[in-house]
Amino acid sequence: MKIEAIEFQALVSQIYSKTFKSFILYLGWNRIPTLAYELFRTGGSWNFWGLSDPQIDELLKQFYFTTDIQAAKAALWKAQEKVADILPYIPIYMGIANVGFRTNVAGIVLNKPLGGQSYLTLLNVHHVGEPFGGTYKEPLGSDPRTLNPFTAISGDEVAVIDNVYEYLFIANPDQVSSDLPWLARSWTIEKVTIGKSNVTKITFHLADNVTWQDGVKFTARDVNFTWFFIKTNRPTQMYSKAFENLIKTELPDDYTIVAYINGTSWAYLYDLNVRIVPMHIWGNSSLLQSAGGWEKFDPSKVPHPSVKGLTAMVGTGPFIFADRKLGEYILLRWNPNYWRRHPEKTIVTQASIPSAVQAGNPLSIAVTVKDYQGQPVPNATVTVRLLSGGSAIKEIQAVHVGGGVYNATIDTAGLSGSYNVSVMVKAGLAGTVFARSLTGTVTVRSAWEQYLPIIILAAVIAVVIVAIIAVRKRARKPEAQQPSESGAQQSS
């Protein structure tokens, strides 16, 4: 026997084309081993070795088409024993892992109880003392052959792709055997009957605050498109019995999708949990054809059809594909508009806007700008506008006076009435410019109105004086008409 060393991506190509004589390849089953059904059954999408055995097929059928998890486990164990007898395939059991990180890195989220870093690490990792910003590097064992989410097979390809595209749910790091809602906020599973067939009905309720990295809104139509793209094109990496048996879908609204799948299986839920791709990119047939079809389409190599500076590799994930140098690196930049980023965790603004001012007196507005860590931002651009009827009649750039405080003074001479105040703050943070807007109202009183309190006071005093005089006059008049006792005479 002659052993030939071969570059990994070349090996993968031979596996796909089935031009190999024999090969050694590590395959991970993930936490939910539905892949076993495609690995070992006759005609399975991952059955590269051409294994065909009626006994194994029956055991895998018992494993897959049941809702009894314990029965599924027992059938899979028996199937693996049978595989070990007839195929030089050695099942390797996963144990507790030890993962090392540099001492200046914090925020690592580990999966329990198995170990290994969780997907949530990507959202939380940072350098000690620097909760925001910086660079995080991860090694790749080989240069990815493609960044096409439908044809990627190696762990290195998946490691990059899963930073960009996301799933309906992920593993809960506190217990990896349980599920953590992600693009889907919740789901339900029901058994229904269509005609004379038993059917599994799975309803996903999706997050309604998700956008693709090019700003397009994520909806149930993207999920529906992804599922039927897989059902139609049968990509090896994602195709499963769930898609083969998918009867129909329903979209009651933009954030709900219902799948009807023939038969009953505990695995259907997990097989539907694939990376979701944007319909407006992958449904663009001319874009895919320009690369020679969907299988040859590497979205990272194709400019975005409408957004300058982006490639067609846009997902809903926390990182955006930025650059690549073959054999050296792949650069991903953070997604500043990521839907799971806290909305107030970039720049925080507060504005002090007086409710009223006298015409001719300056209108003074103070704006405070802070960054992710609560630190003052000294290099923001703060624009203050005075609006009337939707049009700006005054505009001024606020000046930083220290401590993240920006002051703006507007001349109100010749103004009168109520106005809207618009404050626009733009600040650069970690290579991205963020914008925040604040609004308020102010009343500009006419100049004479500043004397109104004095006029009112004078009027009140005048009224009081008049009243006093009137009272005194009334008091004197009766006194003058009364005769004195000495002058009184009695008539006889």
Which residues are paired to 432 by β-bridges? 429
Q: Distance (Å, rounded) from C-alpha 258 to C-alpha 201? A: 7
User: For 426, phi and psi rounded to 5 degrees?
Assistant: -125, 130
Asked if 165 and 171 count as a contact pair (C-beta separation under 8 A), the reply is: no
Predicted local confidence at residue 413, as pLDDT: 87
Asked if 380 and 369 count as a contact pair (C-beta separation under 8 A), the reply is: yes
Asked if 132 and 373 count as a contact pair (C-beta separation under 8 A), the reply is: yes
pLDDT along the chain (492 residues), means of 10: 73 73 67 88 84 94 94 94 79 59 86 82 84 79 90 88 97 92 97 93 97 95 98 89 96 98 96 97 95 94 93 96 93 88 64 88 91 81 92 93 94 89 84 79 76 68 76 65 45 37
Predicted local confidence at residue 337, as pLDDT: 82
348-448: CATH topology is: Immunoglobulin-like (2.60.40)
pTM: 0.72
Predicted local confidence at residue 415, as pLDDT: 87
How open is the CA angle 77-200-44, to the nearest 5 degrees? Answer: 45
For the chain, domain boundaries? 8-86, 138-334, 348-448
Predicted local confidence at residue 171, as pLDDT: 93
Range 138-334: architecture per CATH: 3-Layer(aba) Sandwich (3.40)
Q: Distance (Å, rounded) from C-alpha 6 to C-alpha 92? A: 23
